[in-house]
Amino acid sequence: MVLESILAYLHISAILALVVFISSEAALCRPEWMNATVVERLVKVDRIYGISAAAVLVTGLLRIFLGVKGSGWYVHNWLLHLKIAAFVVVALISIAPTLRFLRWRKALRADGSLPTADEVRRARKLVMLQAHIIPLIPLAAVFLARGFGAKG
């Protein structure tokens, strides 16, 4: 029971970190606020966001395979597959802003140029899309944990 509690704590902590850093990206990624410091900060925040996403994935897998319910309880439940699919969708969406932030930093360091307002708006739309999908994942988790979606 101690292991289950620790795994749950670590998973929830990773989810909270993920939410904090996608929220930070959304707050920073605004055309009216864009400057050299923000470009540098976006790259750092995005890196921590990626690390927290990896932590969510690892701790989630640990809960499946080392948790009390065991993998057999989870793997046949469509809600788990929905959670994983939503997580993958968010991860795929996150690639474009990450590449843009890195490109912006490279241009900034090369010649001091900043992204255009249109570029920032496009990146922000993708960040906001992620931020709106992410809360659906714990919703599926709540139902999953209570036995919804199980066959039989």
Residues of the chain with pLDDT under 50: none
Tell me, yes or no, whether 152 lies in a domain: no
- What pLDDT was estimated at residue 53? 98
- Cβ-defined contacts of 87-94 (< 8 Å, 24+): 87/53, 87/56, 87/57, 87/137, 89/133, 90/53, 90/130, 90/133, 90/134, 90/137, 91/53, 93/126, 93/129, 93/130, 93/133, 94/49, 94/50, 94/53, 94/126, 94/130
Q: How many domains does the chain have?
A: 1
Tell me, yes or no, whether 121 lies in a domain: yes
Tell me, yes or no, whether 150 lies in a domain: no
Q: Which residues contact 71 (CB under 8 A, 6 or more apart)?
A: 64, 65
Tell me, yes or no, whether 70 lies in a domain: yes
- What pLDDT was estimated at residue 149? 84
Residue 5, classified by CB atoms within 10 Å of its CB into exposed (0-12), middle (13-18) or buried (19+), is: exposed
Tell me, yes or no, whether 55 lies in a domain: yes
Residue span of the structural domain in which 56 resides: 2-145
Tell me, yes or no, whether 151 lies in a domain: no
Tell me, yes or no, whether 126 lies in a domain: yes
pTM of the model: 0.93
- What pLDDT was estimated at residue 145? 87
